[in-house]
Amino acid sequence: MPYHEILANRVREKLMHLNNVEEKLMFNGLTFMVDGKMCIGVKQDELMVRINPDEADSVAEKNGCRQMIHGGKVMKGYIFVAIEELQREQELVFWIDLALAYNPLAKASKKK
């Protein structure tokens, strides 16, 4: 399973009010780009959120959370949240709000 479709639909519903959202299949999952920047993703049964790197250490301590590791390095500002921690709507909204708050500050990746 590349991504959990029910979780992706829940995220999609929460982003409906935004004008510039694009969905892309990336990283073996579904990524939601907001204003051309990676913001939120669903990979298998986890939510990936891009948040302020300065907040990453404190929120990664929450149950069911872990920082993204790529090539043996911690990717500051990228957090995976287990689906079990997202059963309540307010938990999903918490993570989406964190990602959306950081999105205007996040750098867009270079166009190829």
Give this prediction's pTM: 0.91
- What pLDDT score was predicted for residue 78? 95
Give the residue from 98, 74, 75 showing the smallest Cα distance to 86. 98
Q: Give domain 5-102's CATH architecture.
A: Alpha-Beta Complex (3.90)
By CB atoms closer than 10 A (0-12, 13-18, 19+), residue 32 is: buried
User: For 13-64, where are the E strands, in sequence order?
Assistant: 21-26, 29-34, 37-43, 46-50
Alpha carbon distance 69, 111 (integer Å): 23
Give the pLDDT of the chain (112 residues) as one tens digit per residue. Answer: 689 999 999 999 999 999 999 999 987 899 999 999 999 999 999 999 999 999 988 888 888 999 998 889 989 899 999 999 999 999 999 999 999 999 999 988 776 6
